[in-house]
């Protein structure tokens, strides 16, 4: 049976209304695909705690995790991912790519121009849909 992992991912928005997108390196699982930074939830953690820890470890900055934006289950060839995308704000520091190949801030209308990890597509659609709604 395939293993299921709970992964939290941060949809971090800056003051210019851009979203932080992270490129997985060729050494990571699901290489060379874009994602929302984050990682696996560890035992005893809630989603907020897990996300704040993962971002501090990976991007060396502090965030405040907010509401759940989207939950989606995706079946990869070797495992099943339960991806929880959450709104987040940077509260201290500047994100630095320590594991990722690249970090970019992308305006919301351009989010579909990069190659997202398959599990992330519904979250990307949700971010874009919310923006369209807000713009009327």
Could you tell me which stretch among 13-21, 35-43, 102-110, 127-135 binds ligand 8DG (CB under 6 A)?
35-43
Residue with nearest beta carbon to ligand 8DG: 39
Task: Give the interface size with ligand 8DG as a residue count (CB under 6 A).
Answer: 15
Are residues 88 and 55 in contact, defined by beta-carbon separation less than 8 angstroms? Answer: yes
Place of tokens 């971002």: 55
Long-range contacts of 128-135 (CB under 8 A, 24+ apart): 130/69
User: H helices of 26-98, where?
Assistant: 47-59
Among 13, 19, 21, 39, binds ligand 8DG (CB under 6 A): 39
Burial 74-86 (b: 16+ CB within 10 A, else e): beeeeeebebbbb
Among 20, 36, 95, 111, binds ligand 8DG (CB under 6 A): 36
Interface with ligand 8DG includes 95 (CB under 6 A)? no
Question: Which positions lie near ligand 8DG, rule CB under 6 A?
Answer: 7, 9, 29-30, 35-40, 81, 83, 117, 119-120
């Amino acid at each position: 049976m395939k293993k299921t992992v709970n992964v939290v991912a941060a949809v971090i928005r800056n003051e210019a209304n851009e979203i932080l997108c992270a490129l997985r390196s060729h050494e990571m699982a699901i290489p060379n695909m874009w994602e929302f930074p984050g990682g696996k939830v560890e035992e005893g953690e809630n989603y907020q705690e897990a996300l704040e820890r993962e971002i501090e470890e990976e991007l060396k900055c502090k965030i405040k995790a907010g509401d759940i934006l989207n939950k989606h289950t995706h079946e990869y060839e070797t495992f099943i991912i339960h991806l929880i995308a959450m709104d987040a704000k940077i509260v201290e520091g500047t994100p630095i790519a320590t594991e990722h190949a690249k970090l970019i801030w992308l305006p919301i209308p351009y989010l579909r121009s990069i190659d997202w990890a398959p599990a992330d597509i519904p979250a990307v659609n949700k971010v874009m849909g919310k923006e369209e709604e807000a713009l009327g």
